[in-house]
Amino acid sequence: MKLKEQPPFPWQKTLWSNLYSQFQSQQLAHAYLISGSRGTGKNLFANAFAKFVMCLLPNKDVACGKCKNCLLGGESGHPDIIKILVEEGSRDIKIEQIRSLSDSLMQTSQGGRAKITLIADAHHMNTAAANALLKTLEEPTSSTYIFLLSHLPGSLPATIRSRCQKLIMPTPSNIEAVDWLKQQITDQEDPQSLAIAAGNCPLLALDLARSGGLDNQQQFLQKLTQLTSGKTSIQATVGLATKLGETEVIGYLREVSTMLIKHLLINQQPSEIESHQAILLELFRVKRWPINKYY
Residues that bind Zn ion (CB under 5 A): 55, 63-64, 67, 70
CB of 67 to Zn ion, least distance (A): 3
- CA separation for the pair 155, 152 (Å, rounded): 6
CB of 57 to Zn ion, least distance (A): 5
Please provide the size of the chain in residues: 295
- CA separation for the pair 55, 194 (Å, rounded): 35
The nearer residue to Zn ion, 72 or 185, going by C-beta atoms, is 72
The nearer residue to Zn ion, 67 or 286, going by C-beta atoms, is 67
CB of 125 to Zn ion, least distance (A): 31
DSSP 166: E
The nearer residue to Zn ion, 44 or 134, going by C-beta atoms, is 44
CB of 166 to Zn ion, least distance (A): 29
User: Mutual orientation of helices 275-283 and 213-228 as an angle, nearest 10°?
Assistant: 30
The nearer residue to Zn ion, 68 or 243, going by C-beta atoms, is 68
The nearer residue to Zn ion, 23 or 85, going by C-beta atoms, is 23
CB of 61 to Zn ion, least distance (A): 12
Contacts 24+ apart (CB under 8 A), 174-177: 174/200, 174/272, 176/10, 176/11, 176/200, 177/201, 177/202, 177/205
The nearer residue to Zn ion, 48 or 133, going by C-beta atoms, is 48
The torsion angle over the Cα atoms of residues 192, 195, 197 and 203, rounded to 10 degrees, is: 150
CB of 290 to Zn ion, least distance (A): 58
Through-space distance between the first and last CA atoms of the chain, rounded to whole angstroms: 50
